[in-house]
Amino acid sequence: MLDTGIVSFNPSIIGNQKELWKTLFLKRKQIEFTLKELETLTLRETDLGNRLTIDKESERIEFATSATEIEREWLFEYLKSSYRIG
């Protein structure tokens, strides 16, 4: 299960009041994944760094967005070994 919890404050959007307001009042999500969906766990390399994602139905869900690249790499390896993925 993925629980987004409380979103951390992002000071880089202070100048944009609309984005600040949306960030402060994001809805908390709780998403459960099947083992088949967990098999889509991927660490995607992009120009801006890596992204940790799982595909659920037609949606690609990114998580550990506040983590560093090293933390996402560690989490990816941990989840792969814990759930015997890949």
pLDDT value of position 31: 85
85, 41 in Cβ contact below 8 A?
Answer: yes
pTM score: 0.67
Widest CA span in the chain? 45
pLDDT per residue rounded down to tens, the chain (86 residues): 655 565 555 555 556 667 666 666 667 778 898 989 999 999 999 898 899 999 999 999 998 888 999 999 999 999 999 888 86
Q: Where are the beta strands (DSSP E) in 1-86?
A: 2-3, 30-31, 42-46, 49-56, 59-63
